[in-house]
């Protein structure tokens, strides 16, 4: 995680140190739903963590450290909830870190955990992200009161809709592209038992007839509010060798941030997203992402962000992202499947949404994605973003250990 200025220095020093390869050996999710009234916050996170341990065939005693992430504490009304969750996550007597980087937090949390392994600080790390949105109302939690902001915005949709409109104007994309994304992701979700929305009777016509919420974003083109948690167990080479199931190997990971507002900011394709992807591809030795990456789990909370991020991530030339979507390339059986799990459009426990992207990418290269498995997926991208399209976290995972 270095910027371009220090790359030359850190590359040489990095190789002399030699990072420990990082493997994902356990993944656990809760069934994401609108409201988990049957469990406490502690019960919710423990359920995901237990499933990750079962998947890895490890016990709490095997975990050296816990890294937890979530979006703003106001969503549950608990300040720094990691303190209260220490017991539920088996962290007593262990190090526990709490990451918060807005919507990208699930991805950032996984990367912080990965660094603990890569830097040989700890051997095996449990990382987990969650949100229990039913405890409050996230839309108004995100609508800042005076004096912080003019009372113009209602939720994230109000913030992002103008940028979607800018993309449409800039590229001349047909109005229907957004509905195609939503229709695809909601159908993919039917193949994912953990997805929140299971709309068995979904049709393209229904998506296109749904009410306009934040013009040009329709109701069916927005993410739900979910209760859910996602956990992963990360370990090094020795831990991976003991893994009962194929591990997913981290080939690259990076975070990038830029300011919320400044003259020259490109909200449609932020520079931080481009830089983040470039760093990940450099680490992973990827030169042609469209050909070399088999599947991608991309943070798409509003349908139009699929074509927008396809361009930002280098999967399509500028102005061409919508053509991939329109021609079916991003369908589950297309040649670059995107959001096989149903994506954020079908499941959105905000703080966990980024980690779900990372975990779903790992499931694909482990061959453990079940009905939404992309056959033969060897390399997959997990992507998260947050704030005013300003915080980015990504990783690229592969079925084989990294070359170095």
Minimum distance from residue 5 beta carbon to other proteins (Å): 5
Judged by beta carbon, residue 65 or residue 248, the one nearer other proteins is 65
Judged by beta carbon, residue 127 or residue 373, the one nearer other proteins is 127
- Length of the chain equals 404
Judged by beta carbon, residue 4 or residue 287, the one nearer other proteins is 4
Q: What is the CA radius of gyration of the chain?
A: 20
Distance separating alpha carbons of residues 249 and 397, to the nearest angstrom: 5
CA atoms within 13 A on the CB side of 171: 24
Judged by beta carbon, residue 62 or residue 297, the one nearer other proteins is 62
Judged by beta carbon, residue 115 or residue 325, the one nearer other proteins is 115
Minimum distance from residue 364 beta carbon to other proteins (Å): 25
- DSSP code, position 283: H
Minimum distance from residue 385 beta carbon to other proteins (Å): 12
Judged by beta carbon, residue 40 or residue 203, the one nearer other proteins is 40
Minimum distance from residue 123 beta carbon to other proteins (Å): 9
Minimum distance from residue 221 beta carbon to other proteins (Å): 24
Minimum distance from residue 146 beta carbon to other proteins (Å): 11
Minimum distance from residue 109 beta carbon to other proteins (Å): 9
Judged by beta carbon, residue 11 or residue 288, the one nearer other proteins is 11
Distance separating alpha carbons of residues 141 and 166, to the nearest angstrom: 26
DSSP for 337-387, please give it.
-B-TT-HHHH---HHHHHHHHHHHHHHHHHT--GGGPPTT--EEEEEEEET
Give the pairing type, strands 23-29 and 227-235.
Answer: antiparallel
Q: Which residues have a Cβ under 8 Å from the Cβ of 399 and sit 6 or more positions away? A: 246, 248, 249, 365, 366, 367, 377, 378, 379
Minimum distance from residue 65 beta carbon to other proteins (Å): 9
Sign of CA dihedral 135, 33, 350, 307: negative
Tokens standing for residue 170: 């800039």
**Cis amide leading into 232 (omega within 30):** no
DSSP, collapsed to helix, strand or coil, labels residue 30 as coil
Judged by beta carbon, residue 168 or residue 344, the one nearer other proteins is 344
Distance separating alpha carbons of residues 271 and 312, to the nearest angstrom: 8
């Amino acid at each position: 995680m270095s910027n371009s200025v220090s790359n030359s220095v850190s590359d040489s020093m990095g190789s002399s140190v030699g990072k420990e390869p990082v493997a994902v050996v356990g993944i656990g999710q809760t069934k994401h739903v609108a409201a988990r009234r049957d469990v406490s916050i502690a019960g919710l996170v423990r359920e995901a963590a237990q499933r990750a341990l079962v998947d890895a065939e490890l016990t709490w005693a095997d975990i050296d450290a816990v890294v937890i992430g979530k979006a703003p504490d106001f969503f549950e009304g608990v300040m720094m909830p990691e303190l209260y969750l220490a017991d539920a996550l088996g962290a007593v007597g262990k190090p526990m870190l709490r990451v918060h980087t807005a919507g990208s937090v699930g991805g950032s949390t996984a990367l912080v955990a990965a660094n603990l392994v890569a830097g040989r600080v700890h051997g095996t790390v449990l990382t987990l992200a969650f949100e229990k949105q039913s405890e409050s109302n996230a839309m108004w939690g995100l609508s800042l009161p005076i004096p912080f902001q003019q009372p113009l915005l209602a939720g994230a949709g109000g913030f992002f809709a103008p940028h979607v409109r800018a993309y449409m104007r800039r590229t001349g994309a047909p109005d229907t592209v957004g509905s195609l994304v939503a229709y695809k992701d909601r159908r993919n979700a039917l193949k994912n038992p953990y997805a929140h929305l299971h709309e068995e009777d979904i049709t393209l016509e229904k998506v296109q007839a749904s009410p306009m919420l934040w013009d040009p974003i329709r109701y069916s083109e927005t993410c739900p509010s979910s209760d859910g948690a996602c956990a992963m167990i990360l370990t090094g080479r020795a831990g991976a060798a003991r893994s009962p199931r194929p591990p997913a190997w981290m080939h690259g990971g990076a975070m990038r941030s830029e300011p919320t507002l400044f003259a020259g900011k490109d909200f449609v394709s932020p520079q931080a997203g481009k830089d983040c992807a470039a760093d990940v591809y450099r680490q992973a030795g990827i030169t042609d992402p469209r050909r070399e990456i088999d599947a991608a789990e991309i943070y798409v909370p509003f349908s139009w962000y699929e074509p927008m991020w396809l361009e930002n991530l280098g999967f399509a030339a500028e102005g061409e992202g919508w053509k991939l979507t329109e021609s079916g390339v991003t369908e589950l059986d297309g040649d670059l499947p995107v959001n096989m799990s149903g994506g954020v459009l079908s499941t959105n426990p905000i703080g966990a949404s980024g980690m779900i992207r990372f975990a779903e990418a790992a499931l694909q290269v482990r061959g453990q994605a079940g009905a939404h498995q992309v056959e033969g997926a060897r390399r997959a991208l997990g992507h998260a973003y947050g704030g005013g399209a300003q915080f980015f976290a990504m990783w690229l995972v592969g079925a084989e250990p990294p070359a170095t």
